[in-house]
């Protein structure tokens, strides 16, 4: 394994990292581990910035990514973006327009329109990009895609995916009053392009923002870039023609996503594949009993425990005409072919997707793929590049539009134009105006 910064002078790659706490902490370290010089660190939280600065003492520190990008400019080749969802596009678009390679955490964007803009900008600028859904780097996910595309389970007309999220508050209104802003927190920069609101301790920064519609994308946005990744890739589940909130308590007081929801996405025939419905469940919601009955017995016991108040499960079940593929892993890294007796002697199909040669955990392999592609040393390039990840994100975030409408309302979706022709009131949520000064 290459030591941090060891060959940075030879390779000439340097990175500026936006958001260096939580997931951003490991993102920054992993990029450094691949021989990239970390020359800029940005975080709105002074304590987080100071802590990460001890690891990279030569990096300049900032609490506003606009200032960092303006000042470092030509000194930077790579920008990582590991902030709350609502600032992803503002930072990443700015970086790509400066011709920087960009690694951006999932979901790629807060809004559907931003995902389209990110995809188009990446293609226009010709930069290397990668979204942080690290399951893409796993051999198991790529094997699952090959199995499904080989026809082993037949024609697929249904996909069921459930999540153990949210693990943060949802289904609540905005708190009253305000608290003093900590001296080491740049609250204006944390709000970024979103509408300004008062600081309330523990409500938004640094974790619970995921449930607030102004900042996060809820359970669906947070996890579906992981859990739907494998079936979306295998089945080309782009551009749904409709989405329905089967169970929808609604956006609570216009502030937070519901505590639980069930959604149905509809996809037409595409590239020779049959029409398909994709069902999403979160907050403890589960697929129907006849679907759960097809799972391995060991996992059915976990489901039974969940129904009795035990820990929530996550899973992905792809139902075909000849069998099913089940992944009990949030990242699609493991799979079981069902019924297991029917596939006891199953032999893997011919490999059609590349495998990452770097040996490490999935998250680090994902960074290796990105950095090696930036260096021009890895010919296949990044698999979760913005051309792919942008389409994945557009598909997923269309589901959040359904939560803006009434339960059971079928929202037709024109993916090309990014608008609903039959429920026009949801179109205002496809994008939003940025707060002055935060335009990309």
Mark 160-188 as b/e (b = at least 16 C-beta within 10 Å): bbbbbbbebebbeeeeeeeeeeeeebbee
Pairing outcome for strands 276-282 and 156-162: parallel
- Dist. CA 397–CA 387, nearest whole Å: 16
Bridge-based pairing of strands 60-62 and 78-81 is unpaired
Secondary structure element (H or E) that encloses residue 411, with its range: strand 410-412
In whole angstroms, what separates CA 431 from the centre of its chain? 18
DSSP assignment, residue 171?
A: S
DSSP 78: E
pLDDT at 333: 94
What would the pLDDT profile of 376-427 be if each residue is shown by its tens digit?
A: 999 999 999 999 999 999 999 999 999 999 999 999 999 999 999 999 999 9
**For the chain, domain boundaries:** 8-135+358-383, 137-170+205-353+390-429
Taking phi over 0 as left and psi of -120 to 50 as alpha, with beta for the rest, 351 belongs to beta
Please state which of the four CATH numbers 3.40.50.720, 3.40.50.2020, 3.75.10.20, 3.40.30.10 is assigned to the domain occupying 8-135+358-383.
3.40.50.720
Q: Rounded to two decimals, what is the model's pTM?
A: 0.96
Task: Determine the pLDDT at residue 329.
Answer: 87
DSSP string, 276-320: EEEEEEETT----HHHHTTS-HHHHHHHHHHHTT-----EEEEEE
220 vs 393: CA distance, rounded Å: 10
The structure tokens listed for 299 are: 């996992």
Tell me the pLDDT tens digit for each residue of 37-91. Answer: 999 999 999 999 999 999 999 999 999 999 999 999 999 999 999 999 999 999 9
Place of tokens 């989405």: 243
Q: Could you tell me the two tokens for 315? A: 């899973």
Tell me: pLDDT of 8 over 50: no
Residues contacting residue 264 through CB under 8 Å, at least 6 positions apart:
243, 244, 246, 277, 278, 279, 280
The owner of tokens 């391995």 is 296
Residues 297, 294: Cα–Cα separation, whole Å:
9
Backbone phi, psi, residue 18, to 5°: -100, 110
Classify strands 156-162 and 242-247 as parallel, antiparallel or unpaired: unpaired
What helix, strand, coil percent values describe the chain, rounded to 5? 35, 20, 45
Q: Is a pLDDT exceeding 70 seen at residue 10?
A: no
Torsion of CA 271, 386, 126, 112, to 10 degrees: 90
Residue 11 has pLDDT above 90, yes or no: no
Which pLDDT score, from 0 to 100, does residue 264 have?
Answer: 98
> What is the pLDDT confidence band of residue 440, given thresholds at 50, 70 and 90?
confident
Give the chain's radius of gyration (CA, Å): 21
pLDDT by residue (tens digit) across 127-171?
A: 999 999 999 999 999 999 999 999 999 999 999 999 999 999 999
- Do residues 223 and 248 make contact, with C-beta atoms less than 8 angstroms apart? no
User: Residue 423: what pLDDT?
Assistant: 98
pLDDT for 5 beyond 70: no
Q: Terminus-to-terminus CA distance in the chain, angstroms? A: 36
CA distance linking residue 428 with residue 423, whole number of Å: 11
Q: Average pLDDT of the chain?
A: 96
Nearest to 400 by CA among 230, 207, 245, 215: 245
Cα separation, 8 vs 36, in Å, equals 5
CATH H-level, domain 137-170+205-353+390-429: superfamily = Dihydrodipicolinate Reductase; domain 2 (3.30.360.10)
Cβ-based neighbours of 366, under 8 Å, separated by 6 or more: 130, 132, 134, 136, 137, 384
The label of the residue with tokens 């958001």 reads 19
Question: Where are the alpha helices (H) located in 192-296, listed in sequence order?
Answer: 218-227, 229-235, 289-292
Residue indicated by tokens 């594949």: 273
pLDDT in tens, 255-295: 999 999 999 999 999 999 999 999 999 999 999 999 999 99
């Amino acid at each position: 394994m290459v030591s941090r910064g060891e060959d940075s002078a030879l390779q000439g790659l340097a990175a500026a990292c936006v958001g260096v706490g939580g997931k951003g902490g490991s993102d920054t370290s992993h990029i450094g581990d691949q021989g990239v010089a970390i020359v800029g660190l940005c975080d709105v939280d002074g304590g987080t910035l100071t802590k990460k600065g001890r690891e990279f003492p030569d990096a300049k520190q900032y609490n506003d990514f606009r200032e960092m990008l303006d000042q470092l400019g030509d000194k930077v080749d790579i920008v990582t973006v590991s902030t709350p969802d609502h600032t992803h596009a503002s930072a990443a678009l700015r970086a790509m327009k400066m011709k920087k390679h960009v690694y951006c955490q999932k979901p790629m964007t807060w809004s559907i329109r931003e995902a389209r803009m990110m995809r188009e900008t990446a293609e226009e600028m010709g930069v290397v990009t990668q979204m942080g859904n690290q399951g893409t780097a796993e051999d198991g996910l790529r094997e699952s895609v090959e199995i499904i595309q080989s026809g082993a389970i037949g024609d697929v007309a249904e996909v069921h995916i459930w999540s153990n999220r949210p693990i943060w508050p949802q289904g609540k209104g905005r708190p009253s009053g305000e608290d003093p802003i900590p001296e080491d927190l740049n609250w204006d920069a944390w709000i970024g392009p979103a509408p300004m609101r008062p600081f309330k301790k523990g409500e938004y920064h640094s974790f619970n923002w995921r449930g607030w519609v102004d900042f996060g994308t809820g359970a669906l946005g947070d996890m579906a870039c992981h859990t739907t990744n494998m079936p979306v890739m295998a089945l080309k589940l782009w551009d749904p023609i409709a989405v329905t909130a089967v169970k929808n308590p609604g956006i609570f007081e216009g502030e937070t996503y519901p505590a639980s929801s069930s959604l149905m996405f509809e996809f037409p025939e595409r590239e020779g594949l049959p029409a398909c419905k994709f069902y999403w469940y979160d907050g403890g919601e589960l697929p129907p009993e006849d679907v759960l009955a097809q799972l391995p017995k060991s996992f059915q016991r976990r489901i039974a425990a969940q129904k009795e108040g035990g820990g929530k499960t996550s899973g992905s079940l792809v139902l075909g005409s000849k069998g099913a593929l089940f992944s009990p892993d949030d990242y699609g890294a493991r799979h079981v072919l069902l019924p297991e007796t029917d596939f006891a002697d199953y032999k893997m199909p011919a490999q059609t997707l590349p495998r990452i040669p770097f040996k490490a955990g999935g998250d680090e392999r994902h960074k290796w793929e990105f950095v090696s592609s930036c260096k021009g040393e890895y010919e296949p390039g990044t698999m979760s590049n913005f051309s792919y990840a942008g389409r994945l994100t557009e598909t997923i975030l269309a589901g959040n539009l359904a939560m803006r409408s009434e339960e059971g309302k079928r929202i037709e979706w024109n993916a090309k134009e990014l608008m609903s022709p039959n429920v026009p009131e949801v179109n205002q949520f496809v994008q939003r105006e940025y707060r002055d000064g935060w335009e990309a």
